Structure 1
Amino acid sequence: MAGLHADSPTPTALTVHSQSRVLEIAFSDGAQFRIPFELMRVYSPSAEVQGHGPGQEVLQTGKREVNVVELEPIGNYAVKPVFSDGHESGIFSWDYLYHLGSEQDRLWDDYTRKLQAAGANRDDPMVAAGGHACGNH
């Protein structure tokens, strides 16, 4: 069995469920995940969400109803979802999707904590780009 762990699992099936707003994904190691679009959107690996360094993340809100309108393949290592709110700059590698799927409980907890710390609600509308929210209300 040696050497198997060197290769990251790759998707064997990928289904976009628009009604339930989840990405269903099965991996070559047998793992299967249903990743909510909201989680993908909130944790998008794009600079727009992640910022340009630690502590620069932009807290995403109002994404509960977000849908994936398109899933573009990027080579054979990633997909680029086009979200219904216009966000499309996140490249989701297989590793990252596996991370989102396997860690989703912890990621939801982190997201909830960040919202509470910011005094924000998951359903709050996003502050428009350019409008700088710094918590001094």
Structure 2
Amino acid sequence: MAGLSASTPTPTEITVHQQSRMLEVAFSDGARFCIPFELLRVYSPSAEVKGHGPGQETLQTGKRDVNITALNSVGHYAIQPQFSDGHESGLYSWDYLYDLGARQDALWLDYEARLQAAGISRDDPMLVKSAGACSSH
């Protein structure tokens, strides 16, 4: 994913719609996207979700009813939403928000395929990863 450049569209308007659980973002190139909170949460760019390398992603579940409780701007390049499940470490750059909005149909399909491959539902509670069993010698 390319970083910010002079050609990166920037938001001209960001609206949090609590009723429909959508983040509406209008960009300087005329594009306007309504991105579901659930999609934003599932594809959070945080290390907690993405991991620290390929194959370390944590599949997010139980996020259908997540809300955005606060939305902070980070400089002139990103927003940092706080979600009702306590997650608040994702920084959504303008290009990442644009990408989420533009590719949301494909991202939903990918998410559903990953859930199916794992044999879980998007409404299942999050599994807590254990550090492994303790063994005595």
TM-score surpassing 0.5?
yes
- The superposition leaves residues 82-122 of structure 1 with CA deviations (integer Å, 9 ceiling, x where unpaired) of 00000000000000000000000000000000000000100
TM-score when scaled to structure 2?
A: 0.90
What is the match of residue 135 of structure 1?
Answer: none
Distance (Å, rounded) in 2 between the aligned partners of 1:128 and 1:18: 28
Mapping 1:63-82, distance limit 5 Å: 63-82=63-82
Identify the residue that residue 45 of structure 1 maps to in structure 2: 45
In the TM superposition, 1:32-111 aligns within 5 A as 32-111=32-111
Secondary structure at the counterpart of residue 14 of structure 2: strand
Letter in 2 for 1:27: F
Structure 2 match to 1:121: 121
SS in 1 for 2:25: strand
**SS at 1:64's partner residue?**
coil
Q: Using a 3 Å threshold, how does the CA distance of structure 1 residues 18 and 86 change in structure 2: closer, same or farther?
A: same
Gaps of 5+ in 2: 133-137
Measured after TM superposition, the shift of residue 130 of structure 1 is 3.3
Q: Which runs of 5+ in 1 are unaligned?
A: 133-137
The percentage of aligned residue pairs carrying the same residue is 67
CA distance in 1, matches of 2:85, 2:6: 37
The one-letter code matched in structure 2 to 1:53 is: G
Taking structure 1 as the reference length, the TM-score comes to 0.90
Residue identity matched to 1:47? A
Distance 2:86 2:31 in 1: 30
The DSSP-based 3-state class of the residue aligned with 1:111 is helix
Q: Distance in 1 between matches of 2:120 and 2:131?
A: 16
1:57 to 1:116, Cα distance in 2 relative to 1, 3 A: same
Deviation at 1:131, TM superposition (A): 6.8
CA distance in 2, matches of 1:16, 1:6: 26
CA distance in 1, matches of 2:129, 2:78: 27
Query: Cα gap change, 1:129/1:88 in structure 2, threshold over 3 Å: closer, same or farther?
Result: farther
The Cα RMSD (Å) is: 1.4
